[in-house]
């Protein structure tokens, strides 16, 4: 099947197998390897990317299903000026990283969470990241990192999370 | 893991989806959010030759949509609450209520909710549309009353006369399937993962109708069920959980009347 998928603002067109998974499209066709393949069973969240602004597990989406859509990976968060996204800064500042394997998925899940809820409580951060597993069990610093990003995103000039939406505009 | 080869077709309308399914015959399968089907295809438990993608149809409701619907929060809080308890945010961004019902996994939350809400389903096939009562829908393990080529197009739910509701789900981790779950709306009680099919708890409903209180009625929760024993729980433990969760659910529902 022929697909055209926007990846971090770049249009990637390719003739791919109908059964190609989006995560393989991102890694092998678009050549972006921040997105990791962990469990491959929709459990661990390591392969989380944004599909039209919402977090999805790219091991459980076909590339064909994403045809015509916009995918954002961890590489796509950094501005063209090299400035990190608020969530990337939060993970750096709070050391929300141990081995790092879950980190790109955690960051993308956090970006999606903050887009829907820019000012989450600790409990809301934990619930919002329930689909992402850190096998180093470094959850405390990850939660701190997301809360720091939420604070950072609200500061003037702090760079609001990508695709942040007014919660009042949530579709009914 | 990568699914076995198949041909991907995308439907732009319900009519086109039904036509594509008729063309594909027994080898076709509808793909909505894909969060039940694609994992099964990776494991070769499902090997359709043609996938008909209905994921772009405006008629679909994702769990995320239901979870955040102001209308449902006001009118059918049981459905909004249960939809928000499915999987995790990423799964809820893709999975749909229609997909969950037709997948007919007894361990899924929304089939039991559909039973507790006494929904009516509308299916469209090559020869037209027909209604199917929720109580007639689940026929066996992962088996429904849908004929080959029929597409679920509507889920009709009346505003409940009895407003009391509760949804209880016992899991090891937040993202897991229910080890046991209970959905209550008024006097209707349905169980998650207590049999090979999603089912109403008839003994509990009869006890409630006869005037029993929550605790006495809940003692009947495991009657007529045949839960599995697996790595998560023995059948006896599931029966115990069904009684405990039903008692909690009935008490909570009574407090909301």
- The confidence score (pLDDT) of residue B173 equals 82
- Give the DSSP H/E element, type plus range, for residue B247: helix B235-255
- Contact flag A19-B10 (C-beta cutoff 8 Å): no
Residue A61, chain B, CB below 8 Å: the answer is: yes
Minimal C-alpha gap between A24 and chain B (Å): 10
In this complex, is the C-beta atom of A172 within 8 Å of any C-beta atom belonging to chain B?
Answer: yes
> Residue A30 CA to chain centroid, in angstroms?
16
Q: Is A55 on the interface with B (CB under 8 A)?
A: yes
pLDDT digits (tens, 9 = 90+) for A35-87: 999 999 999 999 999 999 999 999 999 999 999 999 999 999 998 899 999 99
- Model confidence pLDDT, tens digit, residues B44-95: 999 999 999 999 999 999 999 999 999 999 999 999 999 999 999 999 999 9
Of chain A, the percentage scoring pLDDT greater than 90 comes to 87
Structure tokens at B246: 């039903």
Phi, psi of B249 (to 5 degrees): -65, -45
Per-chain mean pLDDT for chain B: 96
Note the pLDDT of residue A163: 44
> What domains appear along chain B, each with residue ranges and CATH number?
1-57 (3.30.43.10), 165-255 (3.30.390.50)
pLDDT category of residue B233 using cuts at 50, 70 and 90: very high
Whether the full predicted model's pTM is greater than 0.90, yes or no, is yes
Q: Judge residue B25's burial from the number of C-beta atoms within 10 Å of its C-beta, 0-12 exposed, 13-18 middle, 19 or more buried.
A: exposed
Q: Provide the pLDDT confidence category of residue A168 given band limits of 50, 70 and 90.
A: very low
CA A89, distance to chain mean position in Å, is 14
Q: What is the mean pLDDT of residues B94-113?
A: 97
DSSP string, B158-172: PPPSS--EEEEEE-S
User: pLDDT tens digits for A6-28?
Assistant: 999 999 999 999 999 999 999 99
How confident is the model at residue B257, as a pLDDT? 83
Residue B141 has pLDDT above 50, yes or no: yes
- Give yes or no for a contact between A145 and A91, defined as CB atoms under 8 angstroms apart: yes
Encoded tokens for B26? 């027994």
Beta bridge partners of A48: A57
Contacts of B70 in chain A (CB under 8 A): 172
**DSSP 8-state secondary structure symbol assigned to residue A29:** I
pLDDT in tens, A101-124: 999 999 999 999 999 999 999 999
Q: Do residues B32 and B54 touch, judged by C-beta distance below 8 A?
A: yes
pLDDT range class, residue B120, cuts 50, 70, 90: very high
pLDDT at residue A166 tops 70: no
- Asked if the C-beta of A117 comes within 8 angstroms of chain B's C-beta atoms, the answer is no
Tokens of B48: 């359709």
Q: Which residues, including other chains, have CB under 8 Å from residue A140's CB and lie 6 or more apart?
A: none
Share of chain B above pLDDT 70, in %: 100
Cβ within 8 Å of residue A33, ≥6 positions away: A27
Q: Complex ipTM above 0.90?
A: yes
Residue A51 zone, left/alpha/beta (φ > 0; ψ -120 to 50; rest): beta
Best probe of the B interface among A17, A40, A61, by most B CBs < 10 A, is A61
Residue A154 is predicted with a pLDDT of 75
Which tokens is B22 given?
A: 């008729």
The C-alpha atoms of residue B202 and residue B19 are separated, in whole angstroms, by: 39
Nearest to B104 by CA among B76, B142, B49, B153: B142
- At A153 the pLDDT is 80
Nearest to B68 among A48, A65, A170 (CB): A170
Q: How confident is the model at residue A167, as a pLDDT?
A: 36
């Amino acid at each position: 099947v022929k697909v055209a998928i926007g990846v971090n603002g770049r249009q990637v067109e390719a003739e791919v197998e109908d059964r190609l998974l989006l995560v393989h499209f991102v890694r092998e066709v678009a050549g972006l390897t921040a997105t990791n393949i962990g469990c491959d069973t929709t459990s661990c969240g390591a392969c989380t990317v944004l599909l039209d602004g919402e977090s999805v597990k790219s091991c459980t989406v076909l590339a064909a299903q994403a045809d015509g859509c916009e995918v954002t990976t961890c590489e796509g968060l950094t501005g063209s000026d090299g400035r990190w996204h608020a969530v990337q800064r939060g993970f750096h500042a709070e050391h929300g990283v141990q081995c790092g394997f879950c980190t790109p998925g955690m960051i993308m899940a956090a970006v999606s969470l903050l887009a829907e809820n820019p000012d989450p409580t600790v409990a809301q951060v934990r619930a919002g990241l329930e689909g992402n597993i850190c096998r180093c069990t470094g959850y405390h610093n990850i939660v701190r990192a997301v809360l720091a990003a939420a604070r950072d995103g609200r500061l003037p000039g702090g760079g609001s999370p990508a695709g942040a939406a007014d919660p009042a505009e949530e579709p009914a | 893991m990568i699914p076995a080869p198949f041909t991907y077709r995308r439907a732009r309308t319900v009519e086109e989806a039904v036509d594509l399914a008729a063309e594909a015959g027994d080898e076709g399968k509808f793909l909505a959010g894909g969060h039940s089907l694609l994992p099964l295809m990776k494991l070769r438990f499902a090997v359709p030759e043609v996938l008909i993608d209905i994921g772009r149809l405006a008629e679909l409701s994702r769990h995320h949509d239901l979870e955040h619907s102001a209308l449902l929060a006001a009118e059918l809080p049981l459905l909004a609450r249960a939809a928000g308890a499915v999987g995790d945010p990423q799964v809820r961004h893709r999975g749909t209520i229609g997909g969950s019902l037709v997948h007919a996994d007894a361990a899924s939350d929304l089939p039991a909710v559909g039973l507790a809400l006494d929904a009516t389903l509308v299916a469209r096939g090559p020869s037209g549309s027909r209604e199917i009562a929720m109580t007639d829908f689940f026929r066996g393990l992962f088996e429904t009353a849908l004929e080959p080529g029929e597409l679920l197009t509507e889920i009709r739910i009346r505003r409940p006369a009895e407003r009391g509701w509760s949804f209880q789900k016992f899991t090891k981790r937040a993202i897991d399937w229910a080890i046991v779950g209970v959905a209550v709306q008024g006097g209707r009680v349905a169980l998650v993962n207590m049999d090979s099919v999603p089912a109403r708890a008839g003994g509990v409903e009869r006890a409630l109708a006869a005037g029993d209180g929550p605790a006495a009625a809940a003692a009947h929760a495991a009657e007529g069920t045949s839960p599995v024993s697996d790595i998560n729980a023995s059948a006896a433990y599931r029966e115990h959980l069904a009684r405990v969760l039903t008692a909690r659910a009935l008490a909570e529902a009574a407090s909301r009347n």
